[in-house]
Amino acid sequence: MATYEKLIPISRPAIGREELDEIGKVFNTHWLGMGAWVMKFEEQVKKFIGANYVIAVNTGTTAVHLALDSIGVKQGDEVIVPSLTFVGSVQAIMVTGANPVFCDVQEDTLNIDVNDIRKKITSKTKAIIPVHYGGLSCDMDRILEIAQAKKIRVVEDAAHAFGSSYKGKKIGSFGDITCFSFDPIKNITCGEGGAVITNDAKLTQTLIKKRILGIDKDTWSRYKHKRDWFYNVTTLGYRYHMSNINAAIGLVQLKKINNFIKRKKQIVRIYDNEFQKIDKIKILSRDYENTAPFSYVVKICKDRDRLMKFLKNKGIDSGVNYIPNHLQPFFKSQKVSLPITEKVWHQILSLPLYSEMSNDDVNYVVRSVKEFF
């Protein structure tokens, strides 16, 4: 990378002294597990989104599994999910014993194809998992309409979309169930973490119990009351709760989310303005107003892999998000044909996008891509 002084990664968390200081406060209490910071984080996420209930968990994948398990998805059921997504959502389906039914995507957005959802629904369909690819919301009105007519639950995989909106409403503030991820590269990070969002009070009680081994009161709640040693196990559950350490990071990140979004939108606009001038690059359809961008993905009509190698030699990281799940060895037995997914995955390329990218970094990426073509 002789032409630039540093490696530019695809993504990077914007973390610093403030997050460390908040973690220090947790250390001083000696209460590192789920406690006051987790509860405060849930309240702040609830306030930011405008939802009724927020259940913080330890990863985005466990959020999806917890949601599916809590609505009763079980052996023999079917769950519709786009193949072009991170394998975490699909593995969450598998853990319940249900079968993933892979769905195609729209060519211009890479979001789930609603028409293909209709074709994939059977008497065994228990849930639909739309994935808000790159932070752009799926067509939720149509998806929810289909689901309600068929009495199917909708579990939104909003791992990419914290801070995004749909028709002016924050993702997570409407609909059925929404799952977020707060891993190191998401729109905000907790180090690791996730959340299940819902407006369903009854479901919330199930989620809360299942989050911590089916116990009716968590350790922090018991500690604050008499008979702090006593608890009841009332259902099957998991060790999925968030820790105070992770929540402390998230609380500081929440204060910065609007600045993160603003900066990433600036970068996306620069990229789009420059790359639309190159014939061999196709720009995805974007909604600048409602989207909190997670990633910057373009379609390269020819020589994508050669471009990736060229950029690597320039000190610029790039990637492919994602290899379709139905083409993976573990899921190949399904033998499903998804023509758009199978076409676009050979074209898609993720370029660097993170809020601390300098203008010099952005301009260097643009210059390097132009140089290749």
Q: Quick one: average pLDDT of 79-107? A: 97
Average pLDDT estimate for 217-239: 73
- DSSP notation for 287-321: -TTT-----EEEEESS-HHHHHHHHHHTTB--B-S
Q: Is 181 helix (H, G, I), strand (E, B) or coil?
A: strand
Q: Is the pLDDT of residue 336 over 90?
A: yes
Burial class of 307 by CB neighbour count within 10 A (0 to 12, 13 to 18, 19+): buried
Mean pLDDT, range 172-199, rounded to an integer: 97
HSE-up of 255 (CA within 13 Å, CB side)?
10
- The pLDDT assigned to 138 comes to 98
What is the band of 6 on the pLDDT scale with cuts at 50, 70, 90?
confident
pLDDT surpassing 90 at residue 232: no
Residue 333 banded pLDDT, cuts 50, 70, 90: confident
Q: Where in the chain is the domain with CATH 3.40.640.10?
A: 17-253
**274's tokens:** 């420059």
Mean pLDDT of 234-256: 97
Average pLDDT score over residue span 352-361: 97
Tokens of residue 260, six digits: 């993160």
Mean pLDDT across 329-346? 93
pTM of the full predicted structure?
0.94
The whole-number average pLDDT for the span 154-165 is: 98
pLDDT, position 206:
96
pLDDT at 335: 86
Rounded alpha-carbon distances, angstroms, from residue 242 to 58, 71, 125, 129, 231: 5, 21, 30, 23, 20
Q: Which two tokens stand for residue 368?
A: 């390097």
- In sequence order, the 6+-apart residues with CB closer than 8 A to the CB of 220 are 31, 33, 34, 35, 36, 38, 39
By three-state DSSP, how is residue 330 classified? helix
231 pLDDT exceeds 90?
Answer: no
CATH topology of domain 257-372: Aspartate Aminotransferase, domain 1 (3.90.1150)
The answer on pLDDT for 223 being more than 70 is no
Neighbours of 359 (CB within 10 A): 10
What's the pLDDT band for 216 if we cut at 50, 70, 90?
confident
Identify whether the C-beta of residue 297 lies closer than 8 Å to the C-beta of residue 350: yes
Residue 332 pLDDT level (bands cut at 50, 70, 90): confident
**Boundaries of CATH 3.90.1150.10 in the chain?**
257-372
Which amino acids are annotated catalytic?
A: 186
How far apart (Å, rounded) are the C-alpha atoms in residues 85 and 183? 16
- pLDDT of 227 reads 59
pLDDT band of 102, cuts 50, 70, 90? very high
Q: Assign domain 17-253 to its CATH architecture.
A: 3-Layer(aba) Sandwich (3.40)
Across 321-347, average pLDDT: 94
Mean pLDDT score, 323-334: 92
**How many angstroms separate the CA atoms of 308 and 14, rounded?**
25
| Mean pLDDT (the chain, rounded) | 95
Q: Which two tokens stand for residue 84?
A: 């072009």
Of 93, 71, 68, the C-alpha closest to 325 is 93
> How far apart (Å, rounded) are the C-alpha atoms in residues 352 and 296?
7
pLDDT at 69 > cutoff 80: yes
Which residue is associated with the tokens 């006051």? 36
pLDDT classification of 198: cutoffs 50, 70, 90: very high
Give the whole-angstrom CA distance, residue 113 versus residue 132. Answer: 12
How many CB atoms sit inside 10 A of residue 252's CB? Answer: 20
* Mean pLDDT for the stretch of residues 276-285: 96
- When pLDDT is cut at 50, 70 and 90, the band that residue 1 belongs to is very low
pLDDT tens per residue across span 20-65: 999 999 999 999 999 999 999 999 999 999 999 999 999 999 999 9
Position 230 scores a pLDDT of 78
- Distance between CA atoms of 18 and 23, rounded to whole angstroms? 9
